[in-house]
Structure formats: C-alpha cells, structure tokens
Amino acid sequence: MFGGWLQRKVPGSAAYALLLLLTRAGHAAWAAPTDNIVYQTPSIFDPHSGPAQLIHHLSLFVIEITGAIFIVVASLWVYVVLRFRQRDPSDDSEPPQVYGSTQIELAWTVIPILIVVVLFLTTARILFAIQDQKMPPTAINADVVGHQFWWEFRYPKYGFTTAGELHVPLSTEQAPMTTSLRLLSADVDHSFWVPALFGKIDSIPNRVNSMWFTPDKAGMFVGQCAQFCGVEHAKMLLRVYVQTPEDFAAWVKNQQQPAVQDPAVADGRQVFESQACISCHVVRGTAAQGRFGPDLTHLMSRDTIASGASANTAADLKLWIKDPDYVKPGSLMPAMQLSDDQIDKIVAYLTTLK
C-alpha cells in the first residue's frame, strides 16, 4: 500500500517517523540525494521589486486596520466575559432583558461599511497601478511555460530557451529595467510564485497571463509552483537570478550560442544522440530537437536541474539519468535502463554544454 515509501530505500517505518517527530534529528539523514540546499526564506515581507514593494506597503496598511479591529473587539469580549459572568451560582434571578437598540446597531453597521470602503479604495488604487501598468518598450520579455514539474523560460527576442532558472536584469533608479513575463502552460494549471518579486499568477493552458517586476537587488530569489499540478508539484521549484545589466548581457550572449562541440566527448555525444534523449530534449546545433523536456543546450550554465530538485554536478547528472524517479518521484522523464558506461559517456558529453 505504501509502496512509494518502501521504494525510497529509507527507513520508512511509522515508528521511525514518530521518532523523528520527537527528536527532529532527521534533517541530515533525510536530505535529498544531493545537497543543494539554499538557506533562503522566500518571505512575503522581504520584497525586492517595484510591485512587490507596493503589495508590501498595502499589506502593512491592512494589517494595521485589521489588527486594530481585533484589539478593540477582543478587548470588548474579554471585558464582557470577565464582567458579566455569573458570580453566585445559587442566585437564579434573571438579568434585565434587552431586546436591541437601533442606534447602537446602526453604529456597528455603518462603521464597518466605512472601513470596507476605505480598504477597497486603497486596494483598488494599488490593484490598478500594478495590473494596468503599461510596459515600457525597453522591457525584457520572457515567456514562462509551466510543464508538469518543471519550468521552461523562453526569451523570444533573444531567440533561446532555458529551464528551471530565470535570469533577469537588475533595475536601478538610474537605469530602470522592467521584466515582463507572459505565463503559459503546456499541460495543466501551474502558478508562478517568487515572493520577493511579485505575488503569484497562474499559468493556465489555452490562456496567456502576465506579470511584471523591476528587481531592485541583485542575487538569487527562490519560489515555487503554487498550484497543485500533479505528483511532483512539491518539487517544481523556481529560481530567479537578478543580474547587473552587464552580467545579464553576458549571460544572454552565452545562451544565444549554439551548443559547444567538443571533439573530446564525441562518443558521449554519439551515445546521447542514439538514445531517445533527443526526442525529448533540444541541444541546439545537433540532432537533438525534442521539445518535451528542458532545453539542454547550455545545461551547465545552470546551478540546478529538474527545476531545483537536484544540484547540477556530474554525479547528480548520473544519478538523474540513471533513475529520475529517485531524485524526483513521478517526474515525466523515464529511466532509460542505460549501462553505467553509457551514462558516464553521456554525462561526460553533457558536462561540456557550458
């Protein structure tokens, strides 16, 4: 019945899990096949882009209002409970009966209505400011395509495609730079969520949604798919690299190149191209033209593979190609039953794809 977790080759007994519950000692023992932990909390209160800041300020305003309401009403409740509790259980006289009061009831109808109106107007202002913002012609455009359990990023203006890790330019006051995303889906609903840059917007098949941001801090920001999309929804992670304009330009330039052709790994390439790999993956400038899986042309320019489920080293790649399900149970890449020798050769080839 729990075949899944037996298969994971880990001590998966209920007793062990309970022990873990008690000790919390499990972190290291239960880590993924390879350790690619980024110690970063994608807090929504740590905004690093124009729209995220707007949302953040709005949220603080709402917290103030709702917090005040809570304090007032809760204090009232505490007072009532303490003040009007029956003190003498033997006294069974009834308190005076009050049936209502039009003035008081009117007051606590009108005041909330006013509060709602204020909240609405504030919200609407920011809603329109973000949603109806005109994109400047200089904006960087990228298409985000959700696939079952991984993200594809297309840069139509630059003519290349990558996966798992989105790169965008930094926006500064001197050189404002907007990134404008179109959100698409190849299969089911997903949702693109990197809290530091924007809220989440769904990517839905047969529909084009959009999102924009102006990142104000260079660095890497994490997030993940936020709409249940099937077995491996949990490991459909996201990374956005915000780079200075120079770094970004260099990255783009590299991505635009066709794949590196290193004669030293010619037999690795030959194994790769003789396998089904090429019907699911693109390596630009070679026979590999499949579009079902991530573009591998510049595989080694990424820190992670499988949308953040694993780090990207030769050892990780071997593990991944041998049994993708081990790294990411339910992933749509099949285990190809290759020999270790074939895998070594393929990985030798893949690691040249800088």
Decide which of Cu ion, other proteins, ligand HEC, none touches 317; Cβ closer than 5 to 8 Å per partner kind.
ligand HEC
Answer for the pair 342, 352: CB distance below 8 angstroms, yes or no. no
- Least separation in angstroms between residue 185's CB and other proteins is 8
CA–CA dist 345, 339 (Å, integer): 10
Q: Which of 48, 147, 154, 190 binds Cu ion (CB under 5 A)?
A: 190
Q: Which of 140, 168, 229, 271 binds Cu ion (CB under 5 A)?
A: 229
Q: Which is nearer to other proteins, 93 or 138 (CB)?
A: 93
DSSP assignment string, 170-182: ---SSS---EEEE
Give the binding range for ligand HEC (CB under 6 A) out of 71-79, 214-222, 240-248, 276-284. 276-284
Give the binding range for ligand HEC (CB under 6 A) out of 44-52, 126-134, 241-249, 327-335. 327-335
294 binds ligand HEC (CB under 6 A): yes
Decide which of Cu ion, other proteins, ligand HEC, none touches 190; Cβ closer than 5 to 8 Å per partner kind.
Cu ion
Give the binding range for ligand HEC (CB under 6 A) out of 107-115, 195-203, 205-213, 300-308. 300-308
Answer for the pair 182, 210: CB distance below 8 angstroms, yes or no. yes
317 binds ligand HEC (CB under 6 A): yes
- Least separation in angstroms between residue 32's CB and other proteins is 6
Give the binding range for ligand HEC (CB under 6 A) out of 102-110, 125-133, 247-255, 288-296. 288-296
Residue with tokens 């239960």: 30
Specify which residues 212 forms β-bridges with. Answer: 180
Separation in Å, CA 296 to CA 69, 155, 325:
54, 15, 19
User: Residue 320: in which H helix or E strand, if any?
Assistant: helix 314-322
Detail the DSSP E strand segments found in 95-252: 140-147, 150-155, 160-163, 165-169, 179-185, 190-193, 200-203, 209-213, 219-224, 237-243
Q: Which is nearer to ligand HEC, 209 or 301 (CB)?
A: 301
- Least separation in angstroms between residue 278's CB and ligand HEC is 8
Q: Which of 307, 316, 345, 353 binds ligand HEC (CB under 6 A)?
A: 307
- Least separation in angstroms between residue 209's CB and other proteins is 4
Residues 6 or more apart whose CB falls under 8 angstroms from that of 19 comprise: none
Sign of CA dihedral 228, 187, 35, 169: negative
324 is written with which tokens? Answer: 């993708």
Give the binding range for Cu ion (CB under 5 A) out of 3-11, 119-127, 225-233, 304-312. 225-233
CA–CA dist 247, 114 (Å, integer): 50
Give me the sheet containing 140-147, strands edge to edge: 160-163, 150-155, 140-147, 179-185, 209-213
How far is C-alpha 237 from the geometric centre of its chain's CA atoms? 5
- Least separation in angstroms between residue 111's CB and other proteins is 9
Q: Estimate the crossing angle of helix 314-322 against helix 340-350, to 10 degrees.
A: 130
Q: Which positions from 130 through 169 interact with ligand HEC, judged by CB under 6 A? A: 149-150, 163-164
CA–CA dist 280, 331 (Å, integer): 13
Q: Which positions from 92 through 111 interact with ligand HEC, judged by CB under 6 A? A: none
Size of the site for ligand HEC (CB under 6 A): 31
301 binds ligand HEC (CB under 6 A): no
* Site for ligand HEC, rule CB under 6 A: 149-150, 163-164, 272, 275-277, 279-281, 292-294, 296, 299, 302, 305-307, 317, 320-321, 328, 331-334, 336, 346, 350
* Site for Cu ion, rule CB under 5 A: 190, 225, 229, 236
